[in-house]
């Protein structure tokens, strides 16, 4: 039984491997498997009569101190997926071809009706039917970042932090990150990141594919409703945060008192790209220096957000250094920018060259050598080879 180790909401798939050739085949259907390091367990057995395979899985919720044990059985020997699919007969194919035109006519009629009733359908899609959905305003959909809300200077309370790790601070300055179960955290972050991506949000279909792929439409909708209700309960501790749905797309909206470091970083990057000012540069560097975006969330869907943000941030910061004279950047400021780049790409060679060169020019040769040594050690540890440039080549 195999499963992807990088996902929490995972599945176990039965494989048959050849002992003679490098080939394998997939057998039967997959089964759900929440994977969380030592808190998850799975094993496969053959029954005493040799007629069934028995799979046993368990998952322990550390916060609730509860364990869930699941047992699955499968007739032995198992069939591969190709054997389970029955090819349609020629007669069936003929009937399909006869009904295609009729089906298209009916489908066209349904689409017309759906188009006329889309507002009513989008409202019914919400778990709290009958309430007016709260959505991002239409005029900000093309660019949901610039000018929506003022920047925040402090992070004492009512904060959503994504850099260096997911953290939530309520209106009383208490850390309530533990209130978010793995599913609640992913649901909130999915809606948040997709909202800030283009203002459109994330569709109900995509939410189901990511979080409840192993459930029916009705079951997935029920799970989504329960999870959203729990999120709204948590939001009451933080402040004005609302999740709404329009045309089956879910979005999140913050009140003016809510601070989100990722939100502010996106605003600052837009501002700096348009017109760079020292206060905005310093603020962006301060936020970005906290660390990578959601480093402890290792799931497939978030990788594109991490890569996209890091690439844009690093390109912007490097362009600022390249035009340092235009923006009157001091050597110390440029070193801080290099450190911010390292927080998102610890093996960035451009940042290493900038930092070491500036430190040497400032007469801080020892610090430059320490930065180079730390970089080369991590490089060797990760790639298994020595860094190709010497210290002298880096600062030349």
One pLDDT digit (tens) per residue for the chain, 396 residues: 887 765 566 788 888 888 877 777 778 778 888 776 667 888 999 988 878 889 998 878 766 678 888 898 888 888 765 555 445 444 445 545 555 555 565 555 555 445 444 443 443 444 443 333 333 333 333 344 433 344 555 556 889 999 999 999 999 999 999 999 999 999 999 999 999 998 899 999 999 999 999 989 899 999 999 999 999 999 999 999 999 998 899 999 988 889 999 999 999 999 999 888 889 999 999 999 999 999 999 889 999 999 999 999 999 999 999 999 999 999 999 999 999 999 999 999 999 999 999 999 999 999 999 999 999 999 999 999 999 999 999 998
CA 238 to chain centre: 22
Give the whole-angstrom CA distance, residue 77 versus residue 35: 27
Q: Does pTM surpass 0.85?
A: no
Give the whole-angstrom CA distance, residue 67 versus residue 339: 43
Contact 268, 277 (CB under 8 A): no
CB-count burial class (<10 Å; 0-12, 13-18, 19+) for 343: buried
Give the whole-angstrom CA distance, residue 299 versus residue 8: 7
Q: Which residues contact 74 (CB under 8 A, 6 or more apart)?
A: 14, 28, 52, 53, 54, 55
Query: Tokens standing for 227?
Result: 């999870």
Return the pLDDT at 323. Answer: 92
Return the pLDDT at 111. Answer: 55
Paired strand residues for 12: 31
Q: Please spell the DSSP secondary structure of 199-228, one letter per residue.
A: SS-EEHHHHHHHH-TTS-HHHHHHHHHHHH
Query: Tokens standing for 191?
Result: 């809606």
Q: What angle do CA 39, 191, 117 make, to 5 degrees?
A: 130
Give the whole-angstrom CA distance, residue 160 versus residue 260: 5
Give the whole-angstrom CA distance, residue 211 versus residue 165: 21
Return the pLDDT at 119. Answer: 41
Other CB atoms within 10 A of residue 234 CB: 16
Give the whole-angstrom CA distance, residue 168 versus residue 174: 8
Give the whole-angstrom CA distance, residue 105 versus residue 109: 6
Give the whole-angstrom CA distance, residue 313 versus residue 340: 9
CA atoms within 13 A on the CB side of 96: 6
In order of 332, 383, 392, the CA distances from 372 in angstroms are: 17, 16, 10
Return the pLDDT at 77. Answer: 82
pLDDT digits (tens, 9 = 90+) for 229-274: 999 999 999 999 999 998 899 999 988 889 999 999 999 999 999 8
Query: Tokens standing for 275?
Result: 């017109």
Given phi > 0 = left and psi -120 to 50 = alpha, else beta, which region is 328? left
Number of helical (H) and strand (E) elements in the chain, helices listed first = 14, 11
């Amino acid at each position: 039984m195999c499963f992807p180790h990088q996902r929490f909401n995972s599945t176990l798939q039965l494989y048959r491997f050849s002992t003679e050739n490098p080939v394998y085949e997939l057998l039967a259907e997959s089964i759900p498997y929440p994977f969380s390091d030592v808190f998850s367990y799975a094993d496969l057995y053959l029954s005493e009569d040799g007629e069934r395979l028995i799979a046993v899985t368990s998952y322990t919720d550390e916060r609730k101190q509860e364990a869930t044990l699941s047992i699955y059985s499968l007739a032995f020997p198992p069939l591969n997926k190709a054997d389970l699919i029955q090819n349609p007969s020629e007669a069936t194919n003929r009937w399909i071809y006869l009904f295609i035109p009729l089906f298209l006519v009916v489908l066209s009629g349904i689409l017309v009706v759906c188009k006329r009733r889309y507002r009513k359908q989008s409202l019914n899609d919400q778990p709290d039917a009958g309430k007016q959905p709260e959505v991002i305003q239409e005029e900000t959909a093309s660019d949901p970042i610039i000018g929506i809300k003022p920047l925040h200077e402090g992070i004492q309370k009512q904060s959503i932090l994504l850099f260096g790790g997911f953290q939530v601070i309520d209106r009383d300055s208490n850390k309530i990150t533990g209130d978010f179960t793995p599913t609640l955290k992913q649901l909130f972050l999915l809606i948040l990141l997709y909202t800030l991506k283009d203002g459109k949000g994330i569709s109900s279909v995509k939410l189901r594919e990511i979080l409840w792929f192993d459930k029916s439409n009705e079951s997935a909708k029920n799970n989504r409703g329960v999870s959203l209700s729990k999120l709204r309960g948590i939001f009451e501790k933080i402040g004005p945060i609302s999740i709404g749905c329009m045309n089956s797309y879910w979005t999140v909206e913050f009140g003016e008192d809510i601070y989100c470091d990722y939100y502010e970083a996106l605003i600052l990057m837009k501002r700096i790209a348009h017109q760079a000012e020292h206060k905005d540069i310093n603020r962006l560097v301060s936020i970005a220096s906290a660390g990578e975006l959601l480093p402890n969330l290792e799931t497939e869907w978030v990788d594109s957000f991490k890569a996209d943000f890091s690439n844009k941030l690093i390109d912007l910061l490097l362009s600022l250094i390249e035009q340092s004279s235009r923006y009157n950047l001091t050597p110390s400021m440029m070193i801080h920018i290099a450190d911010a780049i390292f927080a998102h790409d610890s093996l960035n060679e451009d940042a290493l060259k900038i930092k070491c060169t500036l430190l040497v020019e400032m007469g801080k040769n020892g610090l430059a050598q320490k930065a180079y040594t730390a970089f080369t050690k991590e490089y060797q540890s990760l790639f298994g080879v020595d860094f190709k440039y010497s210290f002298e080549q880096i600062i030349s």
